């Protein structure tokens, strides 16, 4: 009997023990265990890393469970474990508040060499003070770390190779009532500066690549609401650098990843200055990809084209002149060897021919097509369809909303209006001045004359209204009238 009770008791203890273990395994996800092991976990404000699968569309989820998620303007492409940041901008939609008294920031990134953009990459901006609470920029390929704290640029003299993946740490601390900032690279102290002003953060969004003009790869961003010691910075750096994702038992291959096109494109773009633009234009640049995409147009590599890469140049008219605008990153900019606004002159037909010669695969823009509708035709004053001036190619550019006596109307268009009104003065009230009963009306005579109609009596006009008035000499200005000049 006693043995039976003992067996039951031991069994209950074992059941409870295994239940406790299983409960912990089900609750303690990989992410939770990872965060628990990071030093000073209670002060963790934010942890974003590509090492753990925390993406949901354009949302980069905060693994610290503080729900300080980052929202991307467009989802950055990846180069292995890193996000490739060029024109994408991210803003932090934070639920908790970042401390401005003491904090530690970890950024794991590397710059990408780009001949067109050899300036600085805009890594992180925390708004505050007058404009900037804290901002971090680094020179592309090689150079300095540029930090602005409380709107003031800090002088950091030591240069480093920035095109290698490094873990940068920035620690703001208060030592004997003085504000200090320490900068670390891969866990080693690089420089330390004394801050002249206090840092204050406001409620505006923390931003990554606010300028939308950078070239860097990003793997991890972690922020703590405390100032770490040298040893703690070293420990967290080591932990984050060796953080490994939980392996998926059956990873799904990327559609098209086994194709020749995908492999050639990926190999080429690894060495490109701009991975995103390179990868998203493979379908147009590489013969293997053009051939592959004809048969597989729905594959991702065939659908993700660079914005404006194959976009035909636009055309518009300004101050009587026709202009064509060629996008900077388009194939047509490469073909012409130039980009931006180019004048094609004042002659529409000539501008149309030049456009067709330069971009023969593009549809002729409406502004260059003399047979397309005038954009101002909604205000057309004429109502009869046949021979309507608003449908004439010679009246293509007339702004019908303007005063007809002051509108820019060419001679051929005026003749069109005159002919139309001679035929339709009975039906179209816009042509009432062409009615014979208003033939000698002073206003109508002047109005018709503006449209190349000369069926009027000269006596209706003052002499100074004559177009050649300046060539005449008044007879009372002649010193001798009917006198003999020879005398």
Give the model's pLDDT for residue 315.
84
Q: What is the pLDDT, as a whole number, of residue 32?
A: 45
pLDDT recorded at residue 166: 94
Cβ–Cβ under 8 Å, residues 219 and 165: yes
Same domain, residue pair 358 and 381: no
Q: Is residue 251, in this structure, part of any structural domain at all?
A: no
pLDDT at 33: 43
What pLDDT is stored for residue 24 in this prediction? 38
Tell me the torsion sign for CA atoms 28, 30, 33, 39. negative
Q: Any idea what DSSP says for residue 128?
A: B
Query: Does some domain include residue 487?
Result: no
Helix, strand or coil for residue 166? Answer: strand
CA angle, 351 as apex, 346 and 352 as ends, to 5°? 140
pLDDT at 132: 94
**Same domain membership, residue 360 and residue 451:** no
Do 11 and 42 lie in one domain? The reply is no
Read off the DSSP letter of residue 252: P
Q: How far is CA 347 from CA 320, 326, 344, 350, 353, in A?
A: 9, 20, 8, 5, 10
Distance (Å, rounded) from C-alpha 85 to C-alpha 216? 5
Q: Can you tell me which residue has the tokens 């046949």? A: 386
**Calpha distance 144→431 (Å, rounded):** 74
Q: Specify whether 73 is located in the same domain as 211.
A: yes
232/271 same-domain check: no
pLDDT at 107: 96
CB-based contact 326:342 (threshold 8 Å) = yes
Nearest to 60 by CA among 186, 222, 175: 222
For the chain, which ranges sit under pLDDT 50?
A: 2, 16-33, 248, 250-251, 306-307, 456, 459-460
Domain that holds residue 289: 260-303
CA gap 367, 322 in Å, rounded: 8
SS3 290: helix
- What pLDDT is stored for residue 19 in this prediction? 44
Question: Domain check: are 332 and 457 in the same one?
Answer: no
Residue 478 within a domain = no
Residue 462 within a domain: yes
Residue 456 in tokens = 């009027």
Is residue 484 domain-resident?
no
Tell whether 287 and 403 lie within a shared domain: no
Tell whether 203 and 336 lie within a shared domain.
no
Number of domains observed in the structure of the chain: 5
β-bridge partners, 90:
72, 208
Q: The domain spanning residue 205 has which CATH number?
A: 2.60.120.200
Alpha carbons 316 and 361: distance in angstroms, whole number: 19
Q: Burial code of 25-51, b = ≥16 C-beta within 10 A, e = fewer?
A: eeeeeebeebbeebbbeebbbbbbbbb
Report the Cα 334 to chain-centroid distance in Å. Answer: 20
* Residue 194, pLDDT score: 93
Which residues have CB under 8 Å from 251's CB, separation 6+? Answer: none
CA–CA distances in Å: residue 422 to residues 317, 433, 451:
32, 9, 11
Same domain flag for 345 and 465: no
Residue 340 lies in a domain: yes
Q: How far is CA 95 from the centre of its chain?
A: 28
In a domain, 253, yes or no: no
What does the pLDDT read at residue 21? 41
Residue whose C-alpha is closest to residue 229's, from 189, 190, 178? 189
**Alpha-carbon span 417 to 400, nearest angstrom:** 12
List 108's β-bridge partners, or say none.
167, 220
Assess whether 462 and 363 both reside in one domain: no
Task: Give the number of residues written for the chain.
Answer: 487
CB 238 within 8 A of CB 111: no
77 & 186 share domain: yes
> Which phi and psi angles does 417 have, rounded to 5°?
-65, -45
* Global pTM exceeds 0.85: no
In whole angstroms, give the CA distance from residue 439 to residue 122: 73
How high is the pLDDT of residue 472? 61
Question: What span, in angstroms and rounded, lies between the C-alpha atoms of 324 and 343?
Answer: 6
Tens digit of each residue's pLDDT (9 = 90 or more) over 41-92:
568 899 998 877 677 778 999 888 788 999 999 888 888 888 999 889 999 9
| Placement of tokens 């690089």 in the chain | 190
Look at residues 284, 303, 322 and tell me which one is the last residue of a structural domain: 303
pLDDT of residue 274: 58
Q: What does the pLDDT read at residue 137?
A: 94
Across the strands, what pairs with 201? Answer: 128
**φ, ψ for residue 25, nearest 5 deg:** -65, -35
One domain for residues 343 and 232: no
In a domain, 441, yes or no: yes
pLDDT of residue 103: 95
- Positive or negative torsion for Cα 297, 299, 300, 302: negative
């Amino acid at each position: 009997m006693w043995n039976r009770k003992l067996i039951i008791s031991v069994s209950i203890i074992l059941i409870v023990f295994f239940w406790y273990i299983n409960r912990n395994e089900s609750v303690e996800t990989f992410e939770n265990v990872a965060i628990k092991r990071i030093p000073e976990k209670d002060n963790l404000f934010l942890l974003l890393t590509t090492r753990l699968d925390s993406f949901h569309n354009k949302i980069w989820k905060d693994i610290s469970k503080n729900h300080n998620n980052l929202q991307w303007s467009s989802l950055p492409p990846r180069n292995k474990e890193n996000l490739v940041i060029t024109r994408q901008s991210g803003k932090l939609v934070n639920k908790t508040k970042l401390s401005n008294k003491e904090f530690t920031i970890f950024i794991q990134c590397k710059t990408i060499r780009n001949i067109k953009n050899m300036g600085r990459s805009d890594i992180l901006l925390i708004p505050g003070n007058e404009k900037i609470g804290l901002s971090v920029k680094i020179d592309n390929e090689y150079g300095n770390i540029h930090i602005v704290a409380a709107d003031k640029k800090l002088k950091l003299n030591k240069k480093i190779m920035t095109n290698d993946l490094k873990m940068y740490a920035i620690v703001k601390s208060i030592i004997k009532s003085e504000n200090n900032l320490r900068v670390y690279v891969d866990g080693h102290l690089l420089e330390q500066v004394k801050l002249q002003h206090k840092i204050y953060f406001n409620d505006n969004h923390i931003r990554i690549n606010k300028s939308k003009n950078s070239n860097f790869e990003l793997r991890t961003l972690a922020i703590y609401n405390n100032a770490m010691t040298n040893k703690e910075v070293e420990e967290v750096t080591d932990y984050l650098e060796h953080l490994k994702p939980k392996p998926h038992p059956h990873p799904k291959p990327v559609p098209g990843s086994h194709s020749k096109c995908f492999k050639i494109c990926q190999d080429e773009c690894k060495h490109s200055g701009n991975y995103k633009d390179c990868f998203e234009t493979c379908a147009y640049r590489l013969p293997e990809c053009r051939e592959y995409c004809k048969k597989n147009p729905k594959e991702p590599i065939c659908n993700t084209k660079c914005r404006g890469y194959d976009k035909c140049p636009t055309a518009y008219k300004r101050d009587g002149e026709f202009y064509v605008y060629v996008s900077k990153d388009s194939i047509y900019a490469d073909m012409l060897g130039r980009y931006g606004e180019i004048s094609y002159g004042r002659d529409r037909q000539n501008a149309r021919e030049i456009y067709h010669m330069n971009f023969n695969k593009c549809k002729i823009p409406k502004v260059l097509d003399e047979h397309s509708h005038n954009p101002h035709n909604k205000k057309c004053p004429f109502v009869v369809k046949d021979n309507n001036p608003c449908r004439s190619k010679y009246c293509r550019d007339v702004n019908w909303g303007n005063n007809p006596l002051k509108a820019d109307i060419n001679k051929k268009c005026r003749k069109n209006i005159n002919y139309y009104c001679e035929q339709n003065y009975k039906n179209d009230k816009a042509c009432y001045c062409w009615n014979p009963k208003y033939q000698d009306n002073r206003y109508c005579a002047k109005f018709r004359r503006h449209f190349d109609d000369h069926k009027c009596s000269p006596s209706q006009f003052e002499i100074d209204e004559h177009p050649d008035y300046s060539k005449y000499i008044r007879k009372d200005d002649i010193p001798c009238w009917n006198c003999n000049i020879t005398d």
